[in-house]
């Protein structure tokens, strides 16, 4: 009987702690964070629903485990969790903390150089905050940061590159080049992402290629610098292939682009 009780006690101890969301603490932390940013003439961070959901899930896991960590066993990394929300971002970060209350958690993070740097990073634009209490009342906090960039589908990205090239050639008084659709260019762009290698070797082997430009870009709001090579490049037509993808060492997806002119 004693043996059975011991087994039951071990099983009970192994159960995860209960976690309860603390919406008031979550709101207070955002206010404290933005107060400190504005005091330093930085733009306040905008709360993002997808980032908030990711942060809440991780904070709940910390409260259930009664431990702070950026990555628990079999859990994706912080960057992977943020990317999994589907947001288009080019910069991410995460803070985690445990305290008795929101003010204590924020104060502790501001005393840490690395965590303070995230809170006051002028490049971050959005944040998601999760705040959960364990069954002892301790508060566990996750802050997920990102810099959001404009979202474009692959066809939209290709159209933007086409417009950028047209504007460059117009400014250089060069002849406009009509677009010719070649699906293999997109395949080559995705192959570069798969290999995590920017290379013109396979592109230059295509028949009729005159000028080749390959590059990656996280943000297509402005014209990528490599396109300037095409402002007066010779040719009779233009081909564009884009693949939006992460690669083995790169968790954050980027646009992989192949642009060519044809004889």
For the record, the structure tokens of 203 come out as: 């592109």
Q: Above 90 in pLDDT, residue 17? A: no
How large is the average pLDDT for residues 25-40?
Answer: 98
| pLDDT confidence band for 16 (50 / 70 / 90) | low
How large is the average pLDDT for residues 54-80?
Answer: 95
Query: For residue 147, what are the β-bridge partners?
Result: 91
Q: Please report the pLDDT score of residue 6 as a whole number.
A: 35
For the record, the structure tokens of 186 come out as: 């997109």
- What size, in residues, is the chain? 263
Taking CA atoms, 113 is separated from 57, 78, 110, 116, 131, in Å, by 25, 19, 7, 5, 21
Q: Please report the pLDDT score of residue 15 as a whole number.
A: 53
Which of 8-22, 159-173, 238-252 shows the lowest mean pLDDT across its residues? 8-22
How large is the average pLDDT for residues 59-63?
Answer: 97
Q: Above 60 in pLDDT, residue 63? A: yes
Torsions phi, psi for 176 (to 5 deg): -65, 150
Q: Residues 195-235: pLDDT tens digits?
A: 999 999 999 999 999 999 999 999 999 999 999 999 999 99
How large is the average pLDDT for residues 62-68?
Answer: 96
Q: Please report the pLDDT score of residue 52 as a whole number.
A: 98
How does the average pLDDT of the chain come out, rounded? 93
Q: Coil, helix or strand for 105?
A: helix
Count of Cβ atoms closer than 10 Å to residue 70 Cβ: 15
Q: Please report the pLDDT score of residue 248 as a whole number.
A: 83
Q: Above 90 in pLDDT, residue 246? A: yes
* Contact (Cβ atoms closer than 8 angstroms) between residue 223 and residue 168: yes
pTM here? Answer: 0.86
For the record, the structure tokens of 84 come out as: 């999994």
Q: Please report the pLDDT score of residue 18 as a whole number.
A: 81
Distance CA 145, CA 24 (A): 20
């Amino acid at each position: 009987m004693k043996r059975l009780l011991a087994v039951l006690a071990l099983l009970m101890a192994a159960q995860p702690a209960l976690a309860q969301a603390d919406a008031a603490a979550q709101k207070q932390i955002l206010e404290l964070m933005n107060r400190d940013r504005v005091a330093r003439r930085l733009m306040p961070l905008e709360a993002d629903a997808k980032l908030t959901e990711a942060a809440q899930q991780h904070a709940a896991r910390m409260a259930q485990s009664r431990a702070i960590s950026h990555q628990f066993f079999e859990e994706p990394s912080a960057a992977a969790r943020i990317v999994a929300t589907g947001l288009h971002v080019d910069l991410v970060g995460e803070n985690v903390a445990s305290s008795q209350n929101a003010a204590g958690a924020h104060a502790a993070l501001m005393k840490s150089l690395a965590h303070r740097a995230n809170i006051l990073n002028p490049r971050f634009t959005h944040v998601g905050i999760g705040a959960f209490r364990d069954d002892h009342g301790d508060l566990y906090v996750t802050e997920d940061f990102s810099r959001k960039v404009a979202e474009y589908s692959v066809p939209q990205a290709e159209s933007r590159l086409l417009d950028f090239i047209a504007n460059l050639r117009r400014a250089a008084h060069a002849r406009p080049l009509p677009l010719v659709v070649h699906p293999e260019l997109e395949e080559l762009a995705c192959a570069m992402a798969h290999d995590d290698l920017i290379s013109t070797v396979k592109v230059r082997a295509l028949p009729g290629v005159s000028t080749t430009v390959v590059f990656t870009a996280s943000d297509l709001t402005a014209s990528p610098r490599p396109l300037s090579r095409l402002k007066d490049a010779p040719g009779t037509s233009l081909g564009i292939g884009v693949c939006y993808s992460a690669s083995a060492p790169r968790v954050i997806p980027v646009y992989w682009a192949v642009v060519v002119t044809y004889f």
